[in-house]
Each structure stands twice: as C-alpha cells, then as structure tokens.
Structure 1
C-alpha cells in the first residue's frame, strides 16, 4: 500500500514538473490566410540586444537573407523585405510585403536569430495559406434542348483549392444551371441552360462569390454558331434600343444579375503578440485541466486503496470475532471430562 502511494507521488511529481516546463515553451508560429491576388504584410520580431546575426528563409530552402552578407538577399519579384528597429524595448523586426500573393507563396516563413557565438537563440515562424479560386471558364460544346429554343452549354475551368461553380449571363440575366458543379480530371465542370439567340457570357467563381454580369467575362458563347464569340465585353456602352421578349413554351427560372463586386480584403499579420498570448492562454488552460484531472485521479485512487484496506481489515476482524464466538459456543456445549452426571 505504502509502495503504491509512493509510486503515485513520484508520477504526479514528474508530471507536474513536465507540465510546468511546457508552460514556458514558446507556442508554435502564427498561421494566416490570404486570397490569391491580395496584398499581405507579415512582421517577424526578434531581440536586437542579443542578436548578432539573423537569417530569413522560406521553408527548408536556403535563406533569402543573411545579415552577415546583406548583399546576398534574393527575393521573388512580388516580395519586399524591410527592417524596423524599436530602441525602447530593444526589439527589431523584419517586415515582409507580398503583393500580389500567389499560390506559390504559400508555406512557412522563418526568421532565425543567432548570438555572437553563432548559437541559435530565437526563431519566429509564420505560416501562409493561400486560397485561390477556379481558373478562367471555357465553354466547348452545346446541343439543342426543348423545342429548339433552349440549348445546353458545357463549361469547365481549372479547379481551385476552394469550392467553385460556373456562372453564365444572357441579356443581363443570370442563367440557371442544369447540373451541379463537379470536379472531373482536375477541372470544374457544369452544364448551363441558355436561350437562343443572344450571346452568353460565362465565368468561374467561388461558391461564396457571385460575380456581376459586367465582371463575368471569362468567355462568350454564340448559341447560333455554337462556338466561342470574339465579343468579350458583357457591358458595352448602353444605347437606346427596344427589346422584344422572346416567346417560349417552357419556362425556366432565371436570377437577375447584380453589379456588385466583392471588395478585396488585405490579410495582415502585424500583431503576432496577441495571437501568441491567446495561444499561450489556451495552452495554459489545457495543461491546468490535465493537471487537475491527474490530481483528482491520484487522490481517488488513494482513497479507494485506503477504503479497500479498511474493508479487508473489517472483514478479518469480523471473521475473527465469529471464530471466537464459535469456539466459546462449542466450549459451552461440550461438558468437561470427569464432571458428575445425574446418574451418579
């Protein structure tokens, strides 16, 4: 019993010190997200007073920049690296601007600081995730559908890493899709319905974005000739013309197009300290919960062991008392040898 309690105490002691040490381990780097084509800025702070050399690199590639050889800096054409110094708290930082962001920029960017003895003392890591929509749509075939008035247009686009769909407009109205978007052989494919004889303008888009008719101009389709048209501007200069509604025997729902354009947002990562404090707080909370659970389990086991031992002792005492009672009863029921009897 005592040996078991000593082992549990040792285990709890080791776990406590392990958790306590983990609390002082710096949490992992920050992860930020961006959309292809946006401008993004990232800061990489490091201590100036104890750093004699810093390097900056992408993933496991050779460093873009080495302060020991500043002339060796080689960045892609869409990236710019600048330096900031704050003398009040002896903190410096590298400031990276990527404009525009491309899918090839996704990955981990690492700043590493070394002391005067060329020993590692600090690193700052930022992971960049880049979302990119499907590529430009292309419509390559069609066939007659329903009394010669409706046609189906089969459109496709290079797939992106976010869900997408195909949009088509005709005479300013958004056309209804005949099928849902699906990915086949690395391309996003969807069949659309169109009316004769007006031009059809199609484009790809993310499912969370609905491009207006003036922005939907990846391709134009001529339903009469069943081929791509050279007209690529869905919103030419408006002239005063009269339009006659088309008559048809079958009706399909159409959605009126809008001219709204989703504003471009700029993803920034210039306040890493807040993210790190939040990560540190979450880590601290999780570790405290784990420590409390382990402590409760340890005490529960100790109490159970004590209760079990007391129960065994109680049973042993009860058996002993029962045995003594049986012996006394047996002695009372058995007459002593040489005692007088009634006959004598």
Structure 2
C-alpha cells in the first residue's frame, strides 16, 4: 500500500517537469529509449498514469490489451556497462499517445533521480471531406460547401477539375474539431474534392473524398491522363481560374467574372489615355521647337538688315544709279560674303 502511495506521489511530481517529446504520424513506428543504472534491482515502464505494462522481474512478458500486445516490444539492452530499455511501437494509433515513464528501483526504493519520461504525440490525418453543391456563383460557376473532421493536423479542402486546382471562396475555418470551407467549381465537368493536411504529402491523384457532377460519360478519375485536347482546354481553364481568383482577391469581394472583365477593360482604357497624352506632349514639343527656330531666324535677318542700313549711304532703291552703293548693298545683304572675306584673309596669312 505504501508503495502505491509513493508511486502516485512520484507520478504527480513527474508531471510537473517537461518531458522529452517525439511526434509521429498514425501508422508509423516509434522507438523510445530509456537509459537506467545497471546496478538497479528493478525497472518498470508504463504509459501515463496506467499500471506498468513492463516489469524487469517478470522477464519479457508485457501486460497489455490485445490492441497493443502485438505492436509493443521491449528489449533490455546491456552494452559496455550501459543499460537501457528500448521500446518499439509498431503501427501507431491514437491510443498510443501519452507520456511513457521509466521507474528505477534499488533494494525496493525508487531512485527519483533516474525517472525517465518521453512524451509520444500521435498525429492522425483528417477524415474525408464531405462536400455539397451550394448556391450558384454565376452562370458557369457554383459554390461548394465542404466540411471535414480536422483531426490533429491543420489543413484545408481542395477541389480539382480536369487536373486543375479550383479557386477557394473562403479560407478554412475551424469550429471545434470540424473544419469548414467553400470552394468555387465549374458546372460543366466532374469535380474531385478532398482534405489536405498542411504537412502531409498528398497528390491530387489521391483526391477523391467527394466526387461532384459525376455521370456515366465521365470516368471517376481525379488524375486523368493528359491528352492534346485536354492540354488545350487546360490553357483556357487556367486563364478562367485566374480571372475568378483575381475577382475573389479584389477589394469588392466577392465579385463575379463579369466584374473581373471590367477591371481588365479599365486597365486597357488607362493605357490608351496614357498613350494619347504622350502623343500630344510630343506634338507640343515639336511646335515649340519650330517657333523657336523661326524666331531666331527673324532676329538674325533683322540684325543683318540693320547693318546694311548703317554702312551704306544709299538705299537699295539707288542700286541701279550708283554702282558703288549697289555693291555695298549687295555685300551686306549676302550673309555669306562676310564669312568668305574672313576665310580669304586667313588663307592669305597661311600662304
């Protein structure tokens, strides 16, 4: 009786400490190693607050229910002065989860310094997703409401059509252990929906929890063989899916595919307006350049005429009567003559 009281007290005391833990998926195999002093007289192994299922004094026999007896194996390993109990659990199930505790005895006394605990976390995959057709989203698309028991792993519901992932209408929402999510699918072909755990590898070929719009003309296959025709159809369907996804992610959520097309037209109109403004700017710049050139030309011409008037005593009207004045006027009215004179003088200096 006293031993039972001490054991319960130690169990309560043991739960005050953080145990070393290991996390595995349901169906995997667990290997837990519990070292202990080789000079001990007795060791026991138990799961959480249950009675010990292994006692070293009983040999290799285990006190386990039938559901665990064929999957549990304990080996007492002694190697080079080191001793340990090696626990192997095959094909893990949810009931295997818990804290496994090793108690070490010497001369009938528990060695509290050598109590060893390992917490085993058994993650189990979610149940299959159940999906039903909801309200029409638009003329070609319909909403699908899906639910699933989330299990111990977070995840989401996904639907495929013709090998393509369909857009989601809502994010996954967890209510207790039940996950809910709404997906958008096309009405024209079968849809394959399933639950995907975030850290579990699962291909779309395994996605067949719920099949919608299935008829005799379509084979139940979530992973169809890609043909040339299907490849061409997929190209258009991807564009259609992208348009729906853009609509769902827009500010005016939720929108229809028609509104998504309006967004595209507005972008085109903006590009046209920008191009028109650029063209007008170029035209205005060209006109300004022409005006500046014309103004400069008139200023040069007026300056040349003023020089002619100051250096020649007679006007251009007297050119016929006065040969000398005529020659002066001819020279001043010719803007290239002054350049020719300067060039002639420079040439003479060179000679």
Question: Fold conserved (TM > 0.5)?
Answer: yes
2: CA distance between counterparts of 1:29 and 1:218? 38
Name the SS for the 1:252 alignment partner.
Answer: helix
Which of 222, 226, 246 aligns to 1:234? It is 222
> Residue 79 of structure 1 corresponds to which residue in structure 2?
72
2: CA distance between counterparts of 1:213 and 1:59? 39
Q: Which runs of 5+ in 2 are unaligned?
A: 1-16, 247-351
Name the SS for the 2:152 alignment partner.
Answer: coil
2: CA distance between counterparts of 1:188 and 1:142? 17
> Residue 25 of structure 2 corresponds to which residue in structure 1?
35
Q: Write the deviation string for residues 230-256 of structure 1: whole angstroms up to 9, x where unpaired.
A: 9654235x38573463789893249xx
8 Å contact 1:197–1:224 — kept in the other structure? no
2: CA distance between counterparts of 1:136 and 1:231? 21
1:175 aligns with 2:166: yes
Q: CA deviation at 1:67?
A: 1.8
Name the SS for the 1:114 alignment partner.
Answer: strand
Which of 211, 216, 229 aligns to 2:207? It is 216
> Residue 59 of structure 2 corresponds to which residue in structure 1?
70
TM normalised by structure 1 equals 0.56
Q: Evaluate the alpha carbon distance shift between residue 239 and residue 145 of structure 1 in structure 2; reply closer, same or farther with a 3 A threshold.
A: closer
**Count of residues in correspondence between the two structures:** 219
Q: CA deviation at 1:97?
A: 1.7
> Residue 128 of structure 1 corresponds to which residue in structure 2?
120
8 Å contact 1:59–1:110 — kept in the other structure? yes
1:300-319 alignment, distance < 5 Å = none
2: CA distance between counterparts of 1:95 and 1:57? 13
> Residue 137 of structure 2 corresponds to which residue in structure 1?
145
> Residue 101 of structure 1 corresponds to which residue in structure 2?
92
> Residue 159 of structure 1 corresponds to which residue in structure 2?
150
> Residue 113 of structure 1 corresponds to which residue in structure 2?
104
Q: Write the deviation string for residues 173-206 of structure 1: whole angstroms up to 9, x where unpaired.
A: 1111100101235311100010122211111122
2: CA distance between counterparts of 1:141 and 1:57? 49
8 Å contact 1:64–1:74 — kept in the other structure? yes
CA RMSD after TM alignment: 3.1
Q: Write the deviation string for residues 83-116 of structure 1: whole angstroms up to 9, x where unpaired.
A: 2111x22x2211112232233222100111212x
TM normalised by structure 2 equals 0.55
1: CA distance between counterparts of 2:52 and 2:128? 35
8 Å contact 1:165–1:204 — kept in the other structure? yes
1:55 aligns with 2:47: no
Q: Evaluate the alpha carbon distance shift between residue 108 and residue 203 of structure 1 in structure 2; reply closer, same or farther with a 3 A threshold.
A: same
Bigger-Rg structure (1/2): 2
Name the SS for the 2:206 alignment partner.
Answer: coil
1:233-252 alignment, distance < 5 Å = 233-235=221-223, 238=225, 242-243=229-230, 245=233, 251-252=243-244
> Residue 302 of structure 2 corresponds to which residue in structure 1?
none
Q: Evaluate the alpha carbon distance shift between residue 65 and residue 79 of structure 1 in structure 2; reply closer, same or farther with a 3 A threshold.
A: same
Higher relative contact order (CA 8 A, sep 6+): 1
Q: Evaluate the alpha carbon distance shift between residue 185 and residue 32 of structure 1 in structure 2; reply closer, same or farther with a 3 A threshold.
A: closer
8 Å contact 1:133–1:164 — kept in the other structure? no
8 Å contact 2:190–2:218 — kept in the other structure? no
8 Å contact 2:46–2:52 — kept in the other structure? yes
Q: Which runs of 5+ in 1 are unaligned?
A: 1-26, 255-344
1: CA distance between counterparts of 2:210 and 2:169? 19
Report the structure, 1 or 2, having the larger helix content: 2
> Residue 190 of structure 1 corresponds to which residue in structure 2?
181
8 Å contact 2:75–2:87 — kept in the other structure? yes
